[in-house]
Amino acid sequence: MPNLDRIVFYGRTLDEYRRFFALDLESLKGAAVLDCPAGASSFTAEAFSMGIHAVAFDAMYGPNLKAIMDSGSEDIDHVVDAVAREKQKYLWDYYSDISGLKKRRAEALQKFSEDYPVGAMENRYFKGQLPVLPFETGVFDLVLSGHFLFCYSDRLDYAFHKAAILEMLRVTSGEVRIYPLTTLTLEPCGFVTDIIADLDKDGITAEIAPVPFEFVKGANQMLRVYRK
Ligand SMILES: C[S@@+](CC[C@H](N)C(=O)[O-])C[C@H]1O[C@@H](n2cnc3c(N)ncnc32)[C@H](O)[C@@H]1O
């Protein structure tokens, strides 16, 4: 994401998640997957409709869907305008152009909003604040964390990153995947190397893996975190 003044309520589609988390969706059918923080992503809505037990967690969720949607629409314009100012820093093979990017964002917000009212009643959307999660230990097969950790390392410190990763690891019996490993200024985040070394001391593997997606130039890797 480009340099932004706030943590945006923004979200991507299942197809984008599939690419930047290198997911094999068929193998996830029947699995419990946490999207954390999910923002206005349609991953949970779309994954649930194909038989994946997807759950979304975000600080901005709440009972007022209109307020959530207003934030989502406002933040699409905010981010897309910022991307348009630095178009040359991105690769456009997936979105084609600014209008293609905006179309994807609107599609995600629309699908999210259609699922959210029912999904919240079915306990598929949870409001809360990392680094604390309201879930039992080991209940998810996979935890996905996109466009939050490392991106906002200018305002979320190293201790927050480590605590959030350990908490996400606590609730999975499988692994945590984090994408991208770049900051909002589109540079590699310096916390990544320290996190890898730090978790290793606690008997946790954190390894960088390639993903078949690159929008921000150079952002083609994720971090996989799991117990040895
Ligand atoms: C860019 S969005 C996430 C988008 C989504 N994961 C994706 O890849 O499309 C970042 C989200 O972090 C949420 N957020 C900010 N601080 C948080 C916290 N401490 N705990 C949980 N969510 C938080 C914001 O509400 C926002 O929706």
Q: Is the CB of 62 under 6 A from ligand 1?
A: no
Secondary structure (3-state) at 25: helix
- Please say if the pLDDT value at position 50 is more than 80: yes
Q: Which two tokens stand for residue 209?
A: 């893996």
Short-list 8, 9, 6, 11, CA closest to 146: 11
Residues of the domain holding 181: 14-227
Would the CB of 129 count as within 6 Å of ligand 1? yes
- For 152-162, the pLDDT digits (tens) are 999 999 999 99
pLDDT category of residue 1 using cuts at 50, 70 and 90: low
**Mean pLDDT, range 110-132, rounded to an integer:** 97
Residues 166 and 215: their CA atoms lie apart, in Å, by 28
* Residue 104 belongs to some domain of the structure: yes
Average pLDDT over residues 160-174: 98
Residues 93-103 pLDDT 10s: 999 999 999 99
Q: Is 41 in the pocket of ligand 1 (CB under 6 A)?
A: yes
CA 71 to ligand 1 center in whole angstroms? 12
Tokens representing 162 are 């480590």
Ligand 1 proximity of 39 Cβ (cutoff 6 Å): yes
Has residue 113 been placed in a domain? yes
Tell the residue number behind the tokens 């999904």, with chain if given.
119
What's the number of domains the chain is made of? 1
pLDDT digits (tens, 9 = 90+) for 177-228: 999 999 999 899 999 999 999 999 999 999 999 999 999 999 999 999 999 8
**67 in a structural domain:** yes
- At 39, which CATH number? 3.40.50.150
Structural domain contains residue 166:
yes
Is residue 3 situated within a structural domain? no
In a domain, residue 184? The reply is yes
Residue 202 in domain: yes
Residue 8 lies in a domain: no
* Nearest-angstrom CA–CA distance, 158 and 120: 32
Residue of 34, 148, 167, 216 to mutate, ligand 1, most atoms within 8 A of C-beta = 148
Indicate whether residue 12 lines ligand 1 (CB < 6 A).
yes
Ligand 1 centroid–CA 11 distance in Å is 9
3-class state of residue 122 by DSSP: coil
Residue 97 burial by CB count (10 A; 0-12/13-18/19+): exposed, middle or buried?
A: exposed
Question: What are the residues facing 209 on neighbouring strands?
Answer: 222
Identify the three-state secondary structure at position 176. strand
Mean pLDDT across 63-69: 93
155 close to 6: Cβ distance less than 8 angstroms: no
How big is the chain by its Cα radius of gyration, in Å? 16
Beta bridge pairs of residue 126: 57
**pLDDT score recorded for residue 5:** 75
Is the preceding peptide bond at 131 cis, omega within 30 degrees of 0?
Answer: yes
